[in-house]
Amino acid sequence: MDEITTVEATNYFSTRLQEQGPVPLFQYLIDLGARFTRTIGPPDEYMDPIKEYYEDPKRRHYSFYLEGFEYRLAVCVEFSYLFFYGDIDFEEKHKNDLSATSLFSLVEKLIPKYSFKYGFFDISGDDYISEKAIAATRLKNVFWANFYGRPYVEKYGKEFLLGAPGWKKRELADGTIEYILTESLFTRPDPTLEKEIKEYFAPKAKVKLFKPGPGPVGFDITVREVTK
């Protein structure tokens, strides 16, 4: 790929995360096979994120390897958010697919586990929905993958969200509605689908489709394949 592109998973407002803190999250990731490292890039030393957190409770950023790729996460208990990042800048298309798919699979496991109010998964850009809008339960941007938690379901209706135009819609174990626009992250909605989405949401909210942009936003994060 000509430009470094970052895949991002953003999840806001989880009561469980706020009450329990990040230790159960770290343990869950470890149980899934994640290996945390002190440095970005090829690992020179793996570390225990639980011990690291107890030594520095204010630390928010961590790096870990999972299924052959390196990712970064940012977690804040005080404001109960959880972000994941990973660059998809390999020359081989299948590696980009694997990197993004692995991270998305992880996010799908964590969403119902922590019941976030709102979350999304997409390629990074510079036009995100604000925390203020999320706190007000507003629908504004539609991303490639969208996760509408209980407050959104109560406000807009489960059947309405499940009926939105797109590739996949389903209710997760905790009641969160997962809404995915196309089969692949790298296949953006065509003009016809974009029009259908805007018209569908129009009676309840004015929405626009998120447009990815080059480069990471707010973090210097890289993803690399693990060299054995």
- The answer to whether residue 157 scores a pLDDT higher than 50 is yes
In this predicted structure, what is the pLDDT of residue 78?
A: 87
- Between CA 29 and CA 121, with CA 96 as vertex, the angle to 5 degrees is 60
- The answer to whether residue 39 scores a pLDDT higher than 80 is no
| pLDDT tens figures, 47-78 | 999 999 999 999 999 999 999 899 999 999 98
| pLDDT tens figures, 194-228 | 999 999 999 999 999 998 865 443 333 222 223 32
- The answer to whether residue 153 scores a pLDDT higher than 80 is yes
In this predicted structure, what is the pLDDT of residue 117?
A: 96
**Binning pLDDT at 50, 70 and 90, where does residue 191 land?**
very high
- The answer to whether residue 2 scores a pLDDT higher than 60 is no
Give kind and range of the element (H or E) at residue 87: strand 81-87
Taking phi over 0 as left and psi of -120 to 50 as alpha, with beta for the rest, 182 belongs to: beta
How many alpha carbons fall within 13 Å on the CB side of residue 60?
12
Round the average pLDDT of the chain to a whole number and report it: 88
- Average confidence (pLDDT) over 91-100: 90
In this predicted structure, what is the pLDDT of residue 215?
A: 43
Residue 59 contacts residue 28 (beta carbons within 8 Å): no
Give CA–CA dist 116/155, Å, rounded. Answer: 15
Report the percent of the chain where pLDDT is more than 70.
89
In this predicted structure, what is the pLDDT of residue 155?
A: 97
**Binning pLDDT at 50, 70 and 90, where does residue 164 land?**
very high
Report the percent of the chain where pLDDT is more than 90.
73
| pLDDT tens figures, 3-28 | 557 788 999 999 999 999 999 999 99
- Between CA 105 and CA 115, with CA 110 as vertex, the angle to 5 degrees is 135
DSSP 177: E
Residue 63 contacts residue 70 (beta carbons within 8 Å): yes
- The answer to whether residue 1 scores a pLDDT higher than 60 is no
- Average confidence (pLDDT) over 95-121: 95
In this predicted structure, what is the pLDDT of residue 89?
A: 78
